[in-house]
Structure 1
Amino acid sequence: MMKDILLVTLNSSYPHSSFGLRYLLANLGELQPRAEIMEFTIQRDPRDIAETLLKQKPKIIGLGVYIWNAQESLELVSLLKKISPETLVVLGGPEVSHEAEGNPICQIADFTIKGEADFLFYQFCKNYFENGVLPERKIIAGILPEIKEIKLPYDLYTDEDIQNRVIYVEVSRGCPYRCEYCLSSLDKSVRNFDVGQFLLEMEKLLNRGARQFKFIDRTFNLSPTTCTQILQFFLDRIHLGLFLHFEMVPDRLPVELRDLIKKFPDGALQFEIGIQTWNPVVARNVSRRNDYEKVRENFRFLASETGVHTHADLIVGLPGEDLQSFGKGFDTLAELRPNEIQVGILKRLKGAPIARHDKEFEMVYASNPPFQILRNKDVDFATLQVMNRFAKFWDLYANSGSFKHFVATLRDRATRREDQSFFWEFFEFNDFLSARYAQSYGISQLSLFESAYVYLQEKMGWPKEEAKALILQDYTLTGKIDLPKFLKDYVAKPKAPVAAEDAMKSAIPKRQQRHLAGKAETTSS
């Protein structure tokens, strides 16, 4: 059945679902039967997407634009307006909510709604269909919606979504902090949904089979009362085999929260913890507040007393931080043993206050998405290119959980360096990989194993059989049975990985399961 309103976005990949579109549909009121969500991925040809959309003969296309789909969305909107100029194209999303007037996609589209559009999009459609009235200006802005009046969208997750895609949820919007690289720094306050109603919706999702929940709240643990209430809700149902992802403030883990976290089974919780920099001067430059001593204490607690999977973030290219400073911060964080360290390259998000540093720190960014830093006063272009590769290879080797013994070997070797730096130890491995591969993308896992094997021999001086034995330990953890050619003449029988209890890890993603398997193997040996 053809629909008058199509709610559209291009996701980065199929497993991701658009939370924002579901909010728009949930709040369309009486117009909801006339609307439909249509999600695509950025890999799809924009011409094919345009064909699919225009077959529906929609009167309005609402398009969600984000940093990861900005270029593809521009191509799509250009096609739509050339092929079907009578179809109204209305944009929304973070990428068009700031500096919209000079944004090419906003100039091509008919209208752009800035900020939270839960009610604004409904009002736009209502005015058009009932009265034939369109806004006088292309850029539409309004006050923030009263959060407790927003209709929750969780019923709009389909059975297919629940089985195959990430289920995003939120109990609050906004952030009290003013970190200048983040758009949340523009928020005036934190606004909370009704917790009781939210938990009723979570119960319905659980009853429908949802087992993984990704909270997008910027500061989930800001309110210990709300945080513990939600965690207790899921803990009471943990026997279902759940996986919960939260973004946490790094220096806020009060006793009541600690006591609750300790009760969750290994791997059921994942905390994304934004550190960004360990340099206090750089932190002040970007208005980042961290009590570093509390951060250290909290990481030690999480590593030693809980089964929480920790994912910590650092950013390369912040104003005032050179490579030496970043490396020192990386080492400090690595000593605290998070399960993953996400090395990110600074992006200049539209509207983010970090733009105020452009002149003083000579910040130069790419003109196209994702608008990464190209150079600044403290880090030149060549170094940032190296760190782009470092970030990718670190993710492939350390964060993936597939090379635990090899990465542990690098960590151990770092203790014998004069500087005792794990960062600079991996930096040397990164140089080796950069010479071996023309690019850091599209490399097979088998090739990565072989590169680690070669590095052990050629750069670290390991005997051939010892290098094979170590790589075989990691290779076995992947669950693969057939040995690659370079390991086939190794006759020792592989040791089977120790599995965590199946009932408790059923909803845990494979990447986190590999970390758990390595942890179990280490404990049992």
Structure 2
Amino acid sequence: SGQLMGSTETVEVKDLSTIPFPYVEEDMVDLEHKIIYYESSRGCPFSCQYCLSGNKNTVRFFPQERTLKELQWFIDHKVKQVKFVDRTFNCAPHHHRPLMEFMRDADTETNFHLEMEPELMTEWETNILCETPPGRIQIEVGVQSTHKKTLDAINRYNDWPYIQKAIRPIIEAGRTHVHMDLIVGLPYENKARFGLSFNDLFSLQPHALQIGFLKLLKGSGVRRMEEYQYISDPLAPYEVLTTHVLPYKDIRFLKHFEDVFERFYNSERFRTVFGYIGSKLIKEHTDTSIASEDTATNHIPPMKKYDPNKVETKKDAFSYFCEMTQAWLDAGHHKVNLKDIDQIEFLYNFFLSKGDKVAAELLQYDTLVSYRGKVRSEAVGLPKQTKELLQEGEAFWRNEEIASQYIPNYTFKEWRKIRQQYVEMPMSKDTAHVLGIENVPNTPFTVVIDVNKEVKPFIRPEIEAC
């Protein structure tokens, strides 16, 4: 009849087993192969002042047997991704470890997304995430800041050297997708200091580095912290507009920074080129780390105190992406919707403007393999593949015995098939080395790129036509 039955008082459910499973068979008609949100626990053991989840510092768990049964139900229904909404998935070993073992050992293509607290990660969690089947698990690691004064103000503790020790092997193993988080607008973190936090996380080269903006949620501790002079959007979710150390113009710039970084780095379409750029920036910049006034221990190499007023050419990651963001704004790209090829052209020209030919060529490679050869433009040095271009190496493509040494089970059928899968392009020695190509000659050469990535790039041998 539409009337409430029983008490109207809002109370916490003490026994989570009494809550029914939220999905039924009929749901899977629309949700199969899509993301499913799921919880195996409620609450959080921490009390970060920007969040509401840890207000009571308690965590309740759904029964383990039930949880495993429900995860199997998702697997049986071929769910694309199960995204756990547990605020701290790894807060209780008796609960999360059997679940992670189940995920690792399951016979499935389903991906499981977990929010994990790096401070609670032990060698056990690191090891299982290093050995799990590729693509099975992805983790979201909320660091938020590496500035001790900031962390103290929001009642959060981060041991950055420990976090690096726990997370770096997982990223390097390459089996688990690692997504790390920062928050713009926390106390005592101005633009320059945020840049140091950014550089710290970037030094691990996570698969994605998410930049969020502080929300002054009703009931949160930061909303009551008048000393930080917060001004926020009056409409939900009450996003920060200015702080005691971060003026609006800086927040606005960081909004554009986040957009540019999300488009190019976090999209992972250009993983090769940004892996190269990231490694180079990390190697060149020996100053960027946690600020020396934070924790002088456990940081290698030692760093100089960052002076935002000192005019110098910086080679750290934050400065690099600030330059990219400014170039994006100067071109007016923030005002229009750009096609993929237009965004690639922007990147290509940006790399050339910095004299980075290797990055430009790696961008060409990433474009070919990310878009399966379907996105081409003369403006980025990728003309449309033609029969005439391929026929320059006709002797190679028609010689099945030689070509099969590079492409297993190769047979020559027709130019159209070759043109769809393989692209020939000139390349510099340095770029070839980055791509792991062997036996690079000192003379000009042509590299064959398989847009399906079934074979690694190789130098096409010069064969005289019969």
Q: When the two structures are superposed, what TM-score results if normalisation uses the length of structure 2?
A: 0.72
The answer to whether 1:281 aligns with 2:149 is: yes
| Structure possessing the higher radius of gyration over alpha carbons | 2
Matched residue SS, 2:32: helix
Residues 277 and 359 of structure 2 are in contact (CA less than 8 Å); yes or no, is this contact kept in structure 1?
no
- Equivalent residues in 2 for 1:14-53 (5 A)? none
Aligned to 1:496: 450
Please point out which of 234, 252, 257 is paired with 2:103: 234
In structure 2, the residue matched to 1:481 is 373
Alignment of 1:204-283 (within 5 A): 204-237=73-106, 239-283=107-151
Instruction: Map 1:97-112 to 2 at 5 A.
Output: none
Q: 1:392 aligns with which of 249, 259, 279?
A: 259
8 Å CA contact 1:393–1:440 kept in 2: the answer is no
Aligned to 1:456: 351
| Relative contact order, higher structure (CA 8 A, sep 6+) | 1
Q: Which residue among 161, 165, 179 is the counterpart of 2:34?
A: 165
Report the counterpart of residue 339 of structure 1 in structure 2.
207
Q: Which residue of structure 2 aligns with residue 194 of structure 1?
A: 63
Q: CA deviation at 1:435?
A: 1.4
Q: Distance in 1 between matches of 2:185 and 2:340?
A: 29
Q: Does 1:368 align with 2:261?
A: no
Q: 1:253 to 1:468 in 2, by over 3 A?
A: closer
State whether structure 2 residue 337 is matched by structure 1 residue 469.
Answer: no
The aligned counterpart of 1:426 is 321
Are 1:125 and 2:4 matched, yes or no?
yes
Residue 37 of structure 2 contacts residue 85 of structure 2 at CA under 8 Å; is this kept in 1?
Answer: yes
Tell me by how many angstroms 1:342 deviates.
0.2
1:107 corresponds to which residue? none
Counterparts of 2:178 and 2:204 in 1: how far apart (Å)?
Answer: 10
Q: How big is the shift at 1:412?
A: 5.2
- The CA distance in 1 between the partners of 2:130 and 2:269, in whole Å, is 26
Alpha-carbon distance in 2 for matches of 1:256, 1:221: 11
Aligned residues between the structures: 368
1:436 counterpart = 2:338: no
**Alignment deviations for residues 228-261 of structure 1 (CA, whole Å, 9 cap, x no partner):** 1011222222x32231110001122223333333
Aligned equivalent of 1:324: 192
- Report sequence identity in percent: 24
AA partner of residue 316 (structure 2): S
Aligned residues: CA RMSD: 2.7
Q: Supply the AA of the counterpart residue of 2:46.
A: Y
Say whether 1:380 aligns with 2:259.
no
C-alpha displacement of 1:290: 1.9
1:149: how far off? 1.9
Residues 211, 352 of structure 1: alpha-carbon distance in 2 compared, 3 angstrom cutoff: same
Preserved contact between residue 113 and residue 140 of structure 2 (Cα < 8 Å): yes
TM-score, scaled relative to structure 1? 0.65
1:19 matched residue in structure 2: none
CA distances 1:501-520 after superposition (whole Å, capped 9, x unpaired)? xxxxxxxxxxxxxxxx9xx9
SS at match of 1:495: strand
Higher helix share: 1
- Counterpart-to-counterpart distance in 2, 1:521 and 1:210: 34
1:67-89 deviations in Å (ceiling 9; x for gaps): xxxxxxxxxxxxxxxxxxxxxxx
Query: In the TM superposition, what is the alpha-carbon distance from 1:289 to its structure 2 partner?
Result: 1.8
1:521 to partner: Cα distance: 8.2
Aligned residues of 2:35 and 2:79 also touching (Cα < 8 A)? no
Distance 1:281 1:370, change over 3 A: same
User: 2: distance between equivalents of 1:440 and 1:347?
Assistant: 25
Deviation, 1:227, is 1.4
Q: Which amino acid is the alignment partner of residue 34 of structure 2?
A: R
Whether contact under 8 Å (1:311, 1:340) holds in the other structure is yes
C-alpha displacement of 1:278:
0.3
Match of 2:170 in 1: 302
Report if the CA contact (8 A) 2:104-2:132 is conserved. Answer: yes
Note if contact 1:185-1:352 (Cα within 8 Å) is conserved in structure 2: no
Using the alignment, how far apart are the partners of 2:158 and 2:197 within structure 1?
A: 13
Q: Distance in 2 between matches of 1:305 and 1:446?
A: 32
User: CA separation in 1, counterparts of 2:332 and 2:369?
Assistant: 25
Query: What is the SS of the residue equivalent to 2:47?
Result: coil
Partners of 1:151 and 1:242 in 2: CA distance: 23
Check conservation: 1:219, 1:248, Cα contact below 8 A: yes
In structure 1, distance between residues paired with 2:71 and 2:42: 17
